[in-house]
Structure 1
């Protein structure tokens, strides 16, 4: 986890160094967006992170993911919707912090 934090911090620093006149090539913008998404995921609750990962990372359909989590399909869909909103808000908040000059790459404790 510590190495992941260090790599994310180094990546963010390199990307920030490459920004010239507020113009960023598409690949750099995508990489920075991924760093922000990882940071936002690290700050989420375990349940929110699990809901998002079952669908996005593991590729499970909501009915299957609901069974994995031990809840109804409807409850899972509500959890997924709320987790997506929280993730979007966290990424937006992180982008605002970076724009304001904050420098930390990942929260204390990393992803776990």
Structure 2
């Protein structure tokens, strides 16, 4: 697999990527590399990461070996997520303390 390409064994990758994670730009839609760079810029700022850490994350993302949450792929590095009232938009899931299986069943319903 070339950097930035989706594997041939994942035929749904392109439509899912362009529908879900690629944002509109003045010239069309973001490429995979553009999405990687945008979300890395957001992670660098948020996590106060150094260049070596970002380089490692870039290599892993371009090979699709390790990725942030899907929600972060969509909004990471955008001006919208930098506003405090929107911080919860980066949360991919939630958790709660369960005391019994019935509560678990209700949560899954």
TM-score in terms of structure 2 length: 0.30
Decide which structure has greater helix share: 1
Q: Which has the higher contact order (CA 8 A, sep 6+)?
A: 1
TM-score in terms of structure 1 length: 0.29
Higher-Rg member (1/2): 2
